[in-house]
Chains A and B, each alone.
Chain A
Amino acid sequence: MANILVFALHYEGAINKNSLGAVSEGARLAAELGGEAHAILVGENVPDELAGSLGAYGASKALVANGPEGLAQPVVDAMAHAIEQGDYSYALFGGGLLGFEIGAGLAARLTAGVVMEVTGVRVADGKLIAERPILGDSAISEIEYRSDLGIIISRLNAFEAKQTGAGAAAVEHIDVTLSPQATQATMITRGEQRGADVDIEGAQILVAGGRGLGKPEGFELCEELAHAFGDTAAVAATRAVVDAGWYPYAAQIGQTGKTVAPKLYLAAGISGAIQHKVGMQSSENIVAINKDANAPIFEFSDLGIVGDLNKILPKLTEAIKAKRSA
């Protein structure tokens, strides 16, 4: 039998959206392989109801282990234990950060093949083939597994969460002994929201700024432009500038930030790294201003302007104000 074990990340009583997508995808693939998809949750007193709710996304069973939250190695211990006891051919992770760490650790522990940044999985001859974009997404490589266990770590938003209408999953508590390494890290604070609590998810127009703004005050150019567009516009940011403290985390788009799909996404001084792209590529119209003609963002923008944002943004703001008041 070819069962699939899917990691379900949860925080403050809710399952991560990318994990829901992974459970849905796991259920689809397991059905094709003639097996079942099981979810696994690790945490301090995970409610049965939360674990069971994954049944609606196609998990027939939800394994629950007690352990510290937000760290990878305790989950490696729990998943390795489940895989040794159970009958699993694949382990599947939704996009994010922890899944990458857990999947890689699990590959090392169980000598399993691992593929990351996976955007699609298909079944061929009763086995899974993972598809991974490479070279700045200019090609897609196809990879098969030769190990007993295959590990699939997907890219952010690769899989859609689908409610199949099934009932609750059977919840099973498992006892896991932590490995020495898993006891050597302790979460002090988790999920700190740095900077103001801004809302970018409701906006129809996003003016996004990156390291090319040069300094924290550079964001004023973005704010003025957003203001010129009117009430439906907001300002967003890349991880580079959020980590640097230039703009609030709540405004960050990408792998460890928000996923958005506004009518217009206008990027200023953003290179277009994959980890940023995954959070905004479904935007209806993408406009990019970058002084480097080879910046990856031009590969996926509808309108690209090669030039200095310091020259262009102020004039664009004035022109849009004029147009809107005309």
Chain B
Amino acid sequence: MKICVLVKEVPDAAVEKRIDPSTGRMDRGGEKNLNPYDTHAIEAAMQIREGGTDVEDIVAVTMGPESAVRALHKAVSLGADRSVHLCDASLAGSDVAATGYALAKALEREQPDLVLLGQQSDDGECYTIGAVVAEHLSMPSLTQVIKMDVADGALRCERQAEYGYDTVQVNLPAVISVGDAINEPRYPSLKAIMGAKKKPLETLGAADAQIDASKVGGDNSGAHWTGVKPPPQKPPGEIIEDEDTNETVEKIVTWLAERKLI
């Protein structure tokens, strides 16, 4: 079995995120890291391999600027065997539909049996790329999966949806996004971190992946940003720093009593 894991670099959680006022896009400068949700997808791939299924290849795949190489190194240090970097100026500014299309083209070259993703990206707050990729690859897909067992060329998946927990049988090949409750990602060993840069990394341009240039990039995205405005203002709440807990509790009780909540 061959598993491709889609990963992404995102601004480090500690860095304040902002919008570039001239384009309306996220300013993706500053410190970057592997999207923390993606580490659950890599871990899920590792657990399939360690669980006895014959997984000959785990490939981390990303689309992004040159700096995204670091996210791939991290992914490899967490267990991927090699990585693929789709990197081309023409892809910049692609919306979710265009990004999903481009990633699907890169995946077509790999012919994976299973494509895994994290539940969401830490920056853009969207969790739909898996559904876009699956549609382009004509594969079944499910998002937010928190339990996944492989048997006889199919996956048995569990996830929470609108009405409770669903159990769904999905035949391979398939595209699955995993929820963060599926596993506890391991920490990479020092040896794995040191060795990550030596693992094979293939860099692809848009043409290498046979991407139709008229379908990608900011100008060809169907959803187009026109402006940004502040949200309705709500007065900021009161903040108490807990130093002396007895005092803190007294303040909370007074606050609640003033509002007739006790």
A residues apposed to B, CB below 8 Å: 9, 11, 16, 70-73, 76, 96-98, 100-105, 107-109, 111-117, 129-130, 133-147, 150, 153, 179-182, 184-194, 205, 229, 239-240, 242-244, 249, 256, 263-264, 274, 285-287, 293, 298, 300-308, 311-312, 315-316, 319-320, 323-324
Contact = CB atoms under 8 A, between A and B. Distances in A.
7 contacts: A145-B223, A146-B224, A153-B128, A300-B234, A300-B237, A303-B238, A320-B253
Interface string B88-106: 0000000111001100000
A180 B160 contact: no
B21 to A, nearest CB: 10
A140 B229 contact: yes
B22 interface: no
Given A139-B19, A305-B252, A315-B249, A184 B174 contact: yes
Give chain B's interface residue range (CB within 8 Å of chain A).
35 or more
Contacts of A144: 223-224, 226
Nearest to B142: A185
Nearest to A180: B138
A273 to B, nearest CB: 9
B135 A105 contact: yes
Contacts of B171: 184-185
Interface string B204-231: 0000000000010000011111111111
Given A104-B132, A307-B242, A320-B253, A184 B170 contact: yes
Interface in B142-192: 142-144, 146, 156, 160-171, 174, 179-181
Interface stretch (B59-67, B109-117, B254-262): B254-262
B168 A311 contact: no
Given A111-B222, A116-B128, A323-B253, A96 B162 contact: yes
A150 B95 CA distance: 13
B165 A194 contact: yes
Q: Report whether over half of chain B's contact residues are helix, strand or loop; otherwise say mixed.
A: mixed
Nearest to A313: B249
A307 B248 contact: yes
B24 interface: yes
B199 interface: no
A139 B132 contact: no
A244 B181 CA distance: 6
Given A73-B140, A256-B161, A316-B252, A107 B242 contact: no
Contacts of B230: 139-140
Contact of A129 (B19, B169, B226, B259): B226
B152 to A, nearest CB: 13
